[in-house]
Amino acid sequence: MAQNRSIKIEVCLLKKAGDTLPVTIRWYPYEMMLLEVWNTVAMSRAKTLEITAKICKRTGNIKVCLQVLLSRPQALFRYDLMAMAENAIQLSRKESNDTVNFFNNLASSKDTNPALKLILKNCISNFKEGFMFLNLSGLEGRTATFDMHNAYDQATACETDLSANKVAIDLVAARIKKWKDVFSVAMATAGVLEDSLPVPEYESLVKSAGINLKRGGKFLEATFLS
């Protein structure tokens, strides 16, 4: 007897207005189903690689970018840009919390010079405030990257304060660098996601008036089209 190499696709019964509607149940060859699943996975992985390449190209450091994204690889297997952006934001928020905890421990340590504690507490405030901007709430209006840049400004303010007071501690510099590495990936991912969205109406109107808008950091640069 030939082996049955088919699988049944179960479909739930549909209910509408209290009635139960029968749904056709079809049988598909086992090999056909395997091929379909394989093709879907292969195409999804190819799409993920394409998105990853776009993101890492924006960061300017592909090696660090891949290290950050692969630190939570499960998001890469969801095969969509939104999932990758949310993952990168979560990683950046976690890094911000870790940085706040780092400065808290340093400021409360009995081995830390008392003269430095106020500066370290300022850095705590900087990263706490920056944390609030690490989200995609401005995505609909394509302002998410503008908002996120405020977090970078807060990190820079901490660095400036440390430098002005001649605070040169290797562990501090390494901690801020790590935060920047993770943030750069979150920022790049949000940027790629933002660029994939439809152009807002106001940008279309401005362009129709002969003005070109280009994002420069957290600002819009306007140039007149010839």
Question: For residues 128 and 99, what is the distance between their CA atoms, to the nearest angstrom?
Answer: 9
Confidence of residue 31 (pLDDT cuts 50, 70, 90): very low
Q: pLDDT tens for residues 145-198?
A: 988 999 999 999 999 999 999 888 899 999 999 999 999 999 999 999 988 876
Question: For residues 187 and 144, what is the distance between their CA atoms, to the nearest angstrom?
Answer: 9
Q: Which residue has the higher pLDDT, 189 or 16?
A: 189
Q: pLDDT tens for residues 107-121?
A: 999 888 888 899 999
Residues pairing with 216 in the sheet: 219
Q: pLDDT tens for residues 32-71?
A: 444 444 444 445 566 677 888 889 899 988 888 988 888 7
What is the reported pLDDT for 94? 95
Question: For residues 11 and 23, what is the distance between their CA atoms, to the nearest angstrom?
Answer: 7
**Helix 30-59 vs helix 170-195: crossing angle, to nearest 10:** 120
Question: For residues 68 and 180, what is the distance between their CA atoms, to the nearest angstrom?
Answer: 11
Average pLDDT of the chain is 76
> Could you give the domains of the chain?
30-198+207-224 (1.20.140.40)
